[in-house]
Amino acid sequence: MADYCLIGKRLDYSYSKVVHNKLGYDYDLTEVAEADLGAFMRSHRYKAFNVTIPYKRAVIPYLDELSEEAAALGVVNLVKEENGRLKGYNMDIRGMEYALARTGVSLAGKKVVILGTGNTSDTAAYLAKNAGAAAVVKVSRSGEENYTTASRHKDAAYLINTTPVGTYPANEDSIIDLSIFPALEGVQEVIYNPFKTRLVLQAEDRGLAVATGLDMLVGQAAYSAEVFHGTLPPMERVDEIVREILSEDRNIWLIGMPSCGKTTIGRALALRLGKPFIDVDEEIVKAHGNIPDIFRSEGEAVFRSYESEALADVAKGHGRVIATGGGAIERERNLLNMRQNGVIVYLTRELSSLSDEGRPLSQGGRIAALYERRAPLYERAATLIVSNDGTKEETVETIVKEVEKL
């Protein structure tokens, strides 16, 4: 049995075990029913454990001592047994500090807007004040400072989202339009599923500094490890763990013209990486029938709706290689869903090598015109552009090498 764990009511979504194992020790995920919390706290089963929803306040009556941050915030997410006494710590503040440091943004003398008014918002406010922010404003759904009046804080330099809006499975929900904050330098998110919420994607499109929920999660785990073992892991290793998790669990999306080889390369790439392969067109066929028949009987608009729904469902997963239909890039919703957990690889192929067989929009000599219209869209959407004019093996190895550099 491990000496350390995370407790919570439901933990099937958690990355904590992955992160702590990468830090070099065994770590359990231990689901505890509310009725069993007292028995667990008295069991002394673990040397120390992290705490998540819904027990970050509920554990406090069982503790003998609180750290300065835990006492100030009234929230505990780490408990350690020290000389027979249970001491509670708040590691969320350490995780937020690590995430802020990764952005390179200084909060000194600046206005910070915090979305939400729950426990995590208190941690964010504590962070901002300690970092020397000149003003800290909490914005929520109701009250004087709400989402409809948020534009009066257009001078805000940093925004921290502490709400669950945009988290799995409601990945497409968006909490606020960042265009109302023209002076923003950076955005910080606490959600890590998906890796990039709609808020983070907005910030990326603005070219802002971004801290994700994964940054915060890995940071707080590193500082938890310091409490567990007395030594803080090297920050280079902590940074490396963020990159490793993204590399292991992000999706690789293949886009490009019909017949450019997305399915063939996708299957070979998935085999090479040991990841599952999904073809969005195949998912549409399973649900709605043959694609040319859909075009003939229901029209392209209906097909595109089927495509967007299938793609959105597939996009919620992690660690997959996914081939898309040639026109998937024509809807902004599809691009956002691809980007939330993945990288997008544009497979190119010489126009003369493309086929129109079984491709409703390419037939009748229209393939060149279709390419001319779509090529700029593929280029805009792509994280990487890879030629598929060589052998299958060459294309796969090029993708692997280029993705590893990200």
Q: Please give the pLDDT value at position 357.
A: 59
Assess whether pLDDT exceeds 50 at residue 175: yes
Lowest mean pLDDT among 38-42, 58-62, 116-120, 345-349: 116-120
Question: Considering only CA atoms, which of 94, 173, 103, 101 is closest in space to residue 126?
Answer: 94
pLDDT given for residue 133 in this prediction: 98
How large a percentage of the chain has pLDDT more than 90?
A: 88
**Matching CATH topology for 4-89 and 94-216?**
yes
pLDDT at 185 over 50: yes
What's the pLDDT at 142? 86
Residue 156: which residues within 8 A CB-CB, separation 6 or more? 110, 111, 112, 113, 137, 181, 183, 184
Instruction: Report helix, strand or coil for 324.
Output: coil
CATH number for 94-216 (one of 3.40.50.300, 1.10.1740.10, 3.30.450.40, 3.40.50.720): it is 3.40.50.720
- Report the C-alpha gap between 189 and 160 in whole angstroms: 6
- The residue ranges of every structural domain in the chain are 4-89, 94-216, 250-404
The pLDDT of residue 244 is above 90? yes
Q: Tell me what the pLDDT averaged over the chain comes to.
A: 94
155: tokens are 């001078």
Residues 220-241 have a mean pLDDT of 96
- What size, in residues, is the chain? 406
Residue with tokens 């996914």: 322
Q: Please answer whether residues 137 and 145 qualify as being in contact, where contact means their C-beta atoms are separated by less than 8 angstroms.
A: yes
Residue 335 pLDDT exceeds 90: yes
4-89 maps to CATH 3.40.50.960? no
The CA distance from 93 to 101, in Å, is: 12
Q: What is the CATH code of the structural domain delimited by 250-404?
A: 3.40.50.300
pLDDT at 363: 44
Is residue 322 a contact partner of residue 347, using CB atoms and an 8 Å limit?
A: no
Give the C-alpha distances (Å, rounded to integers) separating 29 from 1, 7, 274, 282.
11, 6, 25, 36
**Token duo for residue 144:** 């004087």
Identity of the amino acid at 218: V
Place of tokens 């392209």: 300
> Checking DSSP bridges between strand 65-66 and strand 28-31, what pairing results, if any?
unpaired
